[in-house]
Structure 1
C-alpha cells in the first residue's frame, strides 16, 4: 500500500470531494423510496390528489437529474484520481527499471516487465478506483439502507438478512480462489508476452528459416496455457455474481411472502412494502459490490505484490552517498588486478592490469569470448568488478556519481541499436548541435554520400530498430551518435564490423584525422582499425596475453599476425 499512498495524498482533495458527491447521491437515493411510499399510499386511499401525484413524480425526476450530475462528478473525481495513481506507478516503475543495472536486466524477461507496466498496473487502478467507490457505498449506502429497513420493520429485516451469511462465506471462499488464479494467470500472461515480443523481434530469422510453424506452435501452446488459467479465473468470477443475485432473490422472496401477510393484516401499508422492496433493491448493489470489490481487490493485491517484487529489486551498481567530482575529466584510466564474472561459476576477466593515458588511443583485440566487451563495459560501470579496482584520473570509479561518470564516457556498443525516428534524431538524441559540427561528424562516419541517396537526407525515417537501413549504415549512424558527444573518454566496441572493407578504411582514416582530444579505446577484430593505436592489447581467455604497437605484435603474437595476414589478403583480393 505504500506504493499508492503518495498518490492518494496528492489527490486527497479530489477524493474527499468525490466522496462528498457520493454521499449526496446516496442520500438522494434513499429519499426516493419514501416518495414512492407516499405516492402508493395516496393512490390506495380515498384522498387521492392528482396534483400531489404530479408533484411527487416531478420531484423524483428532479432528484434523478441531481443524482445523474453528482454521479458524473464523483466518477470523474474518483476515477480521475485512480488514473493519476496508474500514471504515477507506471512512471515510478519505468524510472526504477532504468535505475537497475545490467546484471539484473540480463536475468529478467522483457515480457515480464511489460506485463507489470500494462496489465498489473491496470488491475491496481481498478482496485484503487472502484474499490474506493464500493467501500464508501458499502458502509454508507448499505448501512443507511439497513437502518431504514430496521426502522420500517425489524423482524422483516432480520428475515430478509437470513441468506446474507451464506453470501459472506461464498465471497470469502471464491475470493481466495481469485487471488491464486489471478497470480498464475498473470505469470502465464508474462510468458506469452515475452514469447510474442521475441517472435516479432526475430521475425526475419523466422521467415528465412521457415520457422513459422515451430514458433506458431510455441505461441499457441503459451496462449492455450494462458487461456486455461484465465478461464479458471473467469469461472470463479462468473460464478460469484449469479450466487450473489440468487441469495438476494431469496431475500426478495422472503420479503414478498412475509411482507404480503403483514400488508393483509394491515401491519404494513402497501406503500411501506413497496418502499421496503425498493430499499432491498438498493441494498443489492452494496452486497453485489462486495463480491465485485473482492474480485478487484484480489487482482489488485496480486498485481501489487508482483510490482513490489520488481520495485524491491535494488541495483548492485549504485552511486556513493558522497561522490567525487572532478572539475575536468582528463581520461587517465588504470586497471589494477581487475577480475570480473557475470556469475560465480564462470570468470570472464582475470587479473587485468593496464594503464591508459589521457589522449592516447588503445586497441583491444583477441579471439571471440576473450572478454573484450566485458572489459569495455566495466569503464562506465555498466557492471561492477568482481575484484580489483579501476580508477579514472587517480580516483576509484566506485567513488563517482554514475550520472557524472557516464556524462564523460561515450560507449558505442557492439550492437548498433537505432530508435524509431529520423537519422537526425538518432544522432542527436534530443541534444543541440550546430550544423557545422554535425556535418563534420557525418563526413567522418562516411555518411555524406549515403544521406545524398536518401530523399529526406537526415530527416529520413529509419523505422523500428533501423529496419530500412543496412547493418553498415546503422553502425555508422551509431558511431556518429557516439562521436558527436565529444566526451573525454570514447569507447568503440567493434565499430566497423558490419561495414565493407572500403567504407571501413575510410571511417578509420577519418577517425585518425579528427582532433577530438579524447582517450580512445577501440575494440575490433579488424587489424586495420587498430594499426594506428598507440598500444594494442591482446586478450585470451580473459587475460592480457600480449601488448604493444602494431609492428611489435606482428613480430611476437601469433594470433595478431595471423589475423593481420588473413585480413590483408581479403582486402587485396576482395575475398
Structure 2
C-alpha cells in the first residue's frame, strides 16, 4: 500500500481536501442548515406580523392562517435541522475515517516515512488529530448557517427600519473580524496542546511496551516520575489552551450581549417615537435576541477552525512525509544460481563486504562485533535508502534498488530475534492470513522445534495468543517466529540470532530442523549468529571483523584452524 498523500502536503491541503472529498454531504448539509437558520430567523418576523395583522385587529381568520403558517415554519426548520445536522455529522465521521485510513497506509507503507514521529505520536495523530481536522467539515456548515441567519435577520430589520438593519449588517461583520484576531493564538495553543498530548501518549506506549524490562532493572519508579512530569506538562499546556478558549468565549458572549442590548435599546426608542408598531417592536427584539445565537456560533467556529487547522498540520506531517527509500519498479526476478549477493558493500560499520548465497545453500555469518551484525541485518531488510550505502546488493542477479519493494519482500524475508507476534490464534500467527492446512503448519513447527508450544495447550493451533505473544516465553516466541518464516518458505531467508532465548538441547533440534527444511532445493538461507549448533549445519561461514570479511570456509575448518573463531563461539 502507498499513502494517498504526496510529499509536500500542508495542513491547508488536508482541510481543502476534506471539504472536497465530502462535498456532497457538505453541500446538502449546508443547504438544510441554512434553511433551518433562515426559517428560525423568520419566526420573530412571523410573530410580529401575527400581532399586527391578527391579534391587534381581532381577525380570527387571519389568526388561524397565521398559526397554520407558524406551524409550517416550525415543521420546516425542525426537519431541516434534523436532516442537515445528520448530514454534517456523517460528513465529519466519514472524513475522520478516511484520514485515519490514510495515516494507517502511510505508517504501514513498506517504503517507510520520515515524519520523525514515534509510535505513540502516530497513535495520537490517528486517534485525535484525524477527528479534529475533520471538524473543518462541520465548521463549513455552521459558518454558512450562521451567516445565513444573520443576513436574513438583517434584511428583515432593514425592511422594518433601514438604519437599524444597516447597523446590524455593518456591526456583525466588525464583531466577527474582531473575534477572529484571536484565531492565530488559538491555533498555536491548540497545536501545543496536541503535541504535548501526543508526546505523553508516545511515552506511555514506550513505558508499557518495556514494562517487564523496567521492572527487571528496578527502574519503574524513575519511569513513573518521568511520565508524571510529561503528564504535568501536558496538563499545563491543556490548561493554557482552555484558558485561551474560555477568554475567547467570554469575549464573544460579552460583545454579543452588548450588541444585543444596543439593538434592543434602539428598537425601544424607535417604538417610543412611534416609528415602530408593537408587532415590529416584538419582531425587532426577537431578531436581536436571535442574532445572539449565530454570532455566538461564529465565535465557536473560530475555535473549531483553529483546532482543525492545528490538527491538520500534524496530519499533513505524516501524510506528507517523504518515503525513506525509493526502490525501482521491476517485478520479481527469475531464480538464479546465486540468490543473494553483496558486492563491496559499505554501510554503517561494514566496509567493502562481499558475500554470495547460492541456491540450496545455508550461509553462516559470525560477527565479532554485534553492531556489524545489526548493520548487515538492517541492510538486508531493505530499510536502508540506496543513497545511504555503497556497493551493490543483488537479488537473483538484479540490483535490489531496481526492484519494486513488493518484489524484494517476496524474495527476501528477514526474521529477527525480536519476534513480533499478534493477538489472535496460534494458527493465524503461523499462517499470516494464508489458507494452509495443519500438515504444512505442523511441518514448520516441527522444523522450528516448537512442538511443545502445541502440546502445552489443549487447543493446539487454536490457542489464543495475547498481544505481542506475552503469554509465551521468550524462547517460544522465537521458535513460533521461525516456524512462521518456514511456513512462508521465502526464496531467501535471513535469520538473526534465532535461538538467543532457547536452551542448548532445543537449539540443537532447531538447527537440525532448519537444515532439513532449508538445506536443499533452490532456496538460500543466511544465518547471522554466534551459535555453534546453528553454525555447524551451515555449508560455510563468513567471519566479520571490523566491518570486513576476514575469513570464510566450512565451520569445522574454521574451528580447527582459526583460534579467534574457536574462542568466539566456544566462550
Same fold (TM over 0.5): yes
Question: Post-superposition shift, 1:250?
Answer: 1.5
1:367 maps to which residue? 368
Question: Post-superposition shift, 1:161?
Answer: 6.8
Counterpart contact for 1:102–1:383, Cα < 8 Å: no
Counterpart contact for 1:370–1:541, Cα < 8 Å: no
5 Å matches for 1:164-243? 164=172, 167-168=175-176, 170-243=178-251
Choose the corresponding residue for 1:246, options 245, 254, 259: 254
1:539 maps to which residue? 544
1:286-339 C-alpha deviation (Å, 9 max, x unpaired): 32222211111122112212222222221232232x425424466522211101
Counterpart contact for 1:21–1:70, Cα < 8 Å: yes
Quote the Cα distance in structure 2 between the aligned partners of 1:505 and 1:370: 26
Choose the corresponding residue for 2:341, options 334, 338, 347: 334
2:511 maps to which residue? 508
Counterpart contact for 1:422–1:462, Cα < 8 Å: yes
Against the structure 1 CA distance between its residues 497 and 103, is the aligned structure 2 distance closer, same or farther, given a 3 Å change threshold? farther
1:422 maps to which residue? 425
Of residues 156-165 and 387-396 in structure 1, the stretch that sits farther from structure 2 once superposed is 156-165
Choose the corresponding residue for 2:271, options 263, 285, 292: 263
1:559 maps onto 2:569 in alignment: no
Quote the Cα distance in structure 2 between the aligned partners of 1:536 and 1:466: 32
Choose the corresponding residue for 1:528, options 510, 530, 533: 533
Against the structure 1 CA distance between its residues 200 and 226, is the aligned structure 2 distance closer, same or farther, given a 3 Å change threshold? same
Choose the corresponding residue for 1:312, options 320, 336, 339: 320
Quote the Cα distance in structure 2 between the aligned partners of 1:400 and 1:261: 82
Instruction: State how many pairs are aligned.
Output: 556
1:88 maps to which residue? 98
5 Å matches for 1:99-110? 99=109, 101=111, 104=114, 108-110=117-119
Quote the Cα distance in structure 2 between the aligned partners of 1:422 and 1:545: 45
2:357 maps to which residue? 356
Choose the corresponding residue for 1:303, options 291, 295, 311: 311
Counterpart contact for 1:497–1:524, Cα < 8 Å: no
Counterpart contact for 1:138–1:290, Cα < 8 Å: yes
Against the structure 1 CA distance between its residues 331 and 153, is the aligned structure 2 distance closer, same or farther, given a 3 Å change threshold? farther
Counterpart contact for 2:336–2:359, Cα < 8 Å: no
Counterpart contact for 2:245–2:303, Cα < 8 Å: yes
Question: Post-superposition shift, 1:169?
Answer: 5.5
Quote the Cα distance in structure 1 between the aligned partners of 2:238 and 2:517: 60
2:22 maps to which residue? 11
Question: Post-superposition shift, 1:157?
Answer: 3.5
Q: Which 5+ residue runs of structure 2 have no aligned equivalent?
A: 1-11
Quote the Cα distance in structure 1 between the aligned partners of 2:563 and 2:180: 74
Question: Post-superposition shift, 1:402?
Answer: 0.7
1:81-127 C-alpha deviation (Å, 9 max, x unpaired): 2222211111112112222646848x53222222221221121111x
Quote the Cα distance in structure 2 between the aligned partners of 1:70 and 1:367: 74
Counterpart contact for 2:270–2:276, Cα < 8 Å: yes
2:286 maps to which residue? 278
Quote the Cα distance in structure 1 between the aligned partners of 2:19 and 2:566: 67
Counterpart contact for 1:163–1:250, Cα < 8 Å: no
Greater relative contact order structure (CA < 8 Å, 6+ sep): 2
Against the structure 1 CA distance between its residues 197 and 556, is the aligned structure 2 distance closer, same or farther, given a 3 Å change threshold? same
Question: Post-superposition shift, 1:170?
Answer: 4.2
Quote the Cα distance in structure 2 between the aligned partners of 1:331 and 1:118: 46
Counterpart contact for 1:492–1:521, Cα < 8 Å: yes
Quote the Cα distance in structure 1 between the aligned partners of 2:216 and 2:332: 51
Against the structure 1 CA distance between its residues 318 and 63, is the aligned structure 2 distance closer, same or farther, given a 3 Å change threshold? same
Against the structure 1 CA distance between its residues 256 and 31, is the aligned structure 2 distance closer, same or farther, given a 3 Å change threshold? closer
Of residues 407-416 and 326-335 in structure 1, the stretch that sits farther from structure 2 once superposed is 326-335
Of residues 451-460 and 203-212 in structure 1, the stretch that sits farther from structure 2 once superposed is 203-212
1:411-458 C-alpha deviation (Å, 9 max, x unpaired): 211201111111111111111212221121121122223312202211
5 Å matches for 1:48-67? 48-49=58-59, 52-53=62-63, 55-67=65-77
2:7 maps to which residue? none
1:475-520 C-alpha deviation (Å, 9 max, x unpaired): 1110011010111111111111111111111111122222662101
Question: Post-superposition shift, 1:536?
Answer: 0.5
TM-score (norm 1): 0.91
2:164 maps to which residue? 156
Counterpart contact for 1:488–1:519, Cα < 8 Å: yes
Question: Post-superposition shift, 1:159?
Answer: 5.0
2:51 maps to which residue? 40
1:474 maps onto 2:484 in alignment: no
Against the structure 1 CA distance between its residues 21 and 42, is the aligned structure 2 distance closer, same or farther, given a 3 Å change threshold? same
Choose the corresponding residue for 1:440, options 439, 443, 449: 443
Q: Which 5+ residue runs of structure 1 have no aligned equivalent?
A: 342-347, 567-575
Quote the Cα distance in structure 2 between the aligned partners of 1:206 and 1:510: 35
Counterpart contact for 1:101–1:383, Cα < 8 Å: no
CA RMSD of aligned residues (A): 2.3
Quote the Cα distance in structure 2 between the aligned partners of 1:59 and 1:499: 83
Counterpart contact for 2:193–2:234, Cα < 8 Å: yes
1:122 maps onto 2:121 in alignment: no
Quote the Cα distance in structure 2 between the aligned partners of 1:352 and 1:2: 45
